[in-house]
């Protein structure tokens, strides 16, 4: 972002489509998005802020010391993380696929999304980074990780081998992707996704890892992500450059957040101390997570 530019983007709904049984595809456009460049990563994620009750648009953010945020606003609009499923810079349009799970500010908004409505987007980030020595990839996702998984597969180079394990609610949630790479699929239908226990952990364990150097990317429920991360880190001896295993959402998040409040300060202090010691973000996240696990979170 260059100096003088706003650090957020208003995004106006220009199209809504029921993509699959539980996935709503919303296309955003408008004059702000015409200057959105993206960060060029296939799991590019952006924070989406929704209008507060009775308003048609979220308020603008302001900048303090280089940080764009709702500084000085008590009633901060609700914001949630979503993947930029597709970016069409020429048309100034950006696509987000929302999993319409039960409840939730974002899922409820997606169910009623209509052309002309406005949200605010901020802070694009990404995690998926494949080292140059990688010969195969294992891509694992539930409904929330499916948009990123689709974009990752579409952007894989010719010659890359990948295996995708995807957990969806119904057969009608299966998607297909065009790709230059060689990709095999294992669709798991009717589990996880807030409906019942996830089988992703077991599916990953039963997959026979190919020969050669691999890279693992996982996006799904936080408790599953912890189990899968431990499996690759401890049982399979992966080094941290060769996996990104991320919790995209948390089951019963209300209870979890209530308990987390008690440990938040200490956990963040630990995270920051690891970063200040010159170690990576991923190492800091590992220590952060280990501390939360120790206190039963
Ligand atoms: C980097 C990143 C990228 C993401 N990309 C996408 C994306 O492209 N598409 C997408 O649909 N989601 C995506 N997510 C997940 C999304 O941010 C969460 O599911 C978010 O909690 C949804 O917000 P909400 O307001 O609907 O529900 P919340 O208000 O957060 O939660 C309300 C209730 O619903 C439960 N809940 C939350 N999410 C789910 C879920 N997925 N399934 C079942 N129950 C749930 C909570 O436990 C809570 O009880 C992404 C998350 C991250 C971190």
| Residue 193: pLDDT band with limits 50, 70, 90 | very high
pLDDT in tens, 128-187: 999 999 999 999 999 999 999 999 999 999 999 999 999 999 999 999 999 999 999 999
pLDDT in tens, 158-170: 999 999 999 999 9
CB atoms within 10 A of CB 125: 12
Q: Which atom of ligand 1 is nearest to the CA of 105?
A: 25
CATH architecture of 8-125: Beta Barrel (2.40)
Q: Which of 69, 35, 229, 218 minimizes the C-alpha distance to 138?
A: 218
CB 147 within 8 A of CB 128: no
Within 8 A by CB and 6+ apart from 254, the residues are none
pLDDT in tens, 85-126: 999 999 999 999 999 999 999 999 999 999 999 999 999 999
Whole-number pLDDT of residue 6: 86
Whole-number pLDDT of residue 107: 98
Whole-number pLDDT of residue 271: 95
Q: Which atom of ligand 1 is nearest to the CA of 246?
A: 53
Domain boundaries, the chain: 8-125, 136-249, 253-294
Fold match flag (8-125 vs 136-249):
no
What's the rounded Cα separation, in Å, for the pair 297 and 295?
A: 6
What's the rounded Cα separation, in Å, for the pair 233 and 108?
A: 36
Average pLDDT over residues 183-195: 97
In the structure, which protein residues have their CB atom closer than 6 angstroms to any atom of ligand 1?
Answer: 45, 80-83, 97-99, 101, 103-107, 144, 147, 193-194, 248-254
**Tokens encoding 287:** 């220590």
Distance from Cα 213 to the centre of ligand 1, integer Å: 32
Residue nearest to atom 10 of ligand 1 (CA): 144
Beta partners for residue 249, in sequence order: 221
**Tokens encoding 266:** 């200490």
Distance from Cα 82 to the centre of ligand 1, integer Å: 8
What's the rounded Cα separation, in Å, for the pair 140 and 203?
A: 9
Beta partners for residue 98, in sequence order: 24
CB 201 within 8 A of CB 50: no
Q: Which atom of ligand 1 is nearest to the CA of 110?
A: 26
| Residue 281: pLDDT band with limits 50, 70, 90 | confident
Whole-number pLDDT of residue 116: 98
Average pLDDT, the chain: 95
Within 8 A by CB and 6+ apart from 152, the residues are 42, 43, 128, 139, 217
Cα 40 off chain centre by: 15
CA dist 235 to 41, 56, 227, 228, 230, Å? Answer: 29, 50, 11, 10, 7
Q: What are phi and psi of 274, to 5 degrees?
A: -70, -45
Query: Residue 5: pLDDT above 90?
Result: no
Query: Residue 2: pLDDT above 80?
Result: no
Query: Residue 1: pLDDT above 70?
Result: no
Residue nearest to atom 22 of ligand 1 (CA): 106
| Residue 3: pLDDT band with limits 50, 70, 90 | low
| Residue 4: pLDDT band with limits 50, 70, 90 | low
Residue nearest to atom 23 of ligand 1 (CA): 106
Whole-number pLDDT of residue 71: 97
Q: Which atom of ligand 1 is nearest to the CA of 80?
A: 17
Average pLDDT over residues 6-18: 96
Name the more confident of 286 and 116.
Answer: 116
**Tokens encoding 199:** 């089988």
Number of residues assigned to the chain: 297
Whole-number pLDDT of residue 232: 97
CATH architecture of 136-249: 3-Layer(aba) Sandwich (3.40)
CB 245 within 8 A of CB 148: no
Distance from Cα 109 to the centre of ligand 1, integer Å: 12
């Amino acid at each position: 972002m260059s100096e003088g530019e706003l650090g957020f983007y208003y995004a106006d709904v220009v199209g809504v489509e029921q993509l699959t049984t539980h996935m709503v595809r919303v296309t955003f456009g408008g004059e702000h998005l015409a200057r959105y460049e993206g960060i060029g990563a296939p799991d590019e994620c952006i924070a989406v802020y929704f209008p507060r009750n009775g308003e048609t648009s979220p308020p603008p953010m302001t900048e303090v010391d280089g940080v764009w945020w709702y500084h000085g606003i008590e009633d901060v609009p609700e914001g949630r993380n979503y993947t930029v499923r597709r970016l069409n810079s020429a048309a100034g349009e950006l696509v987000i696929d929302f999993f319409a799970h039960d409840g939730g500010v974002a899922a409820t908004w997606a169910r009623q999304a209509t052309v002309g409505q406005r949200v605010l987007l901020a802070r694009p980030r990404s995690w998926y980074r494949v080292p140059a020595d990688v010969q195969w990839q294992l891509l694992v996702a539930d409904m929330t990780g499916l948009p990123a998984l689709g974009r990752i597969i579409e952007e894989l180079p010719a010659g890359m081998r990948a295996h995708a394990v995807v957990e969806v609610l119904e057969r009608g949630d299966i998607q297909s992707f065009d790709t230059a790479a060689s990709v095999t699929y294992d669709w798991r239908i009717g589990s996880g996704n807030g409906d019942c226990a996830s089988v992703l952990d077991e599916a990953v364990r039963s997959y026979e890892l190919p020969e050669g150097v691999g890279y693992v990317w996982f996006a799904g429920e936080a408790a599953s992500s912890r189990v899968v991360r431990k499996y690759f880190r401890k049982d399979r001896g992966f080094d941290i450059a060769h996996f990104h295993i991320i919790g995209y959402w948390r089951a019963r998040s209300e209870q979890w957040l209530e308990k987390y409040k008690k440990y938040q300060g200490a956990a963040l202090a630990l995270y920051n101390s690891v970063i200040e010691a010159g170690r990576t973000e991923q190492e800091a996240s590992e220590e952060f997570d280990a501390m939360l696990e120790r206190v039963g979170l």
